[in-house]
Amino acid sequence: MNSTPEYQEVTDTLEVPKHVGVEGFILAIRSILKLPRVVSIVIDAKGKITHTRFMRKEEPRRTIEVDFDTIAPSAIIRNGTVVEMDLEAYMDNAATCIAAMFARAAADHMYPVAWVVGGATHLHQWHQKTTEVALPANSVYGLQVFYDRFIPDETLLLACAYGPNSALVDTRMAYKITMPGAPPVRLEEPPPPDE
């Protein structure tokens, strides 16, 4: 009699949300590696991690539960100190407000890490309207932009850490401003009815 357990190959896929960045992939891979007999892990460009492992035929199949909310930008910001800056007098120029945020971080001996904004942020519209300069979506003034649906769209946060070349998860202080609301959408008047 053969008492060796029989194994079957099982493949599962886990999707990593865009707003959690590299730390989200690391968290997911750590969770996968806690499973027994993992033989391969494949990451695609769309944020999906496919892993293959061997399971005993009688072993119950477990799905991986990864709590990405713990490393979402909003959770990281919440774990640090948030300094609200009153720049109401300067809201007519986004570049001036951003420069003031950098200056305050430097005065506090903090190192800027990234920008954190809402999922439908007003940042790009506000910057273009007040400076006539369009910003790229992924990087603003040399720092990566993290989008988070739990951050209000009119909020701009400069995440900072104690040392240079830090990651978002190292954030200890964030400087916050409230940007002006989105410019109203101009609707064209309907043509008068023919009489």
The mean of the pLDDT values for the chain is: 87
**Are 88 and 67 members of one domain?**
no
Say whether pLDDT at 162 is over 80. Answer: yes
Per DSSP, what are the bridge partners of residue 160? 112, 173
Could you tell me if 79 and 146 lie in one domain? Answer: yes
Edge-to-edge strand ranges of the sheet holding 38-43: 7-15, 48-56, 38-43
pLDDT tens profile 164-191: 988 888 999 999 999 987 554 444 555 5
The span from the CA of 66 to the CA of 55, in Å, is 20
Mean pLDDT along residues 40-68 = 88
What pLDDT does 4 receive? 63
Instruction: Using a cut of 0.75, tell me whether the model's pTM lies above it.
Output: no
Which ranges of the chain would DSSP assign to H, the alpha helix?
21-33, 73-78, 94-107, 123-131
Domain range for 94 is: 73-178
Identify whether residues 65 and 108 lie together within a single domain: no
**What angle do helix axes 123-131 and 94-107 make, rounded to 10 degrees?**
110
Q: What is the pLDDT of residues 69-117, one digit of tens each?
A: 788 889 899 999 999 998 888 888 999 999 999 999 999 999 999 999 9
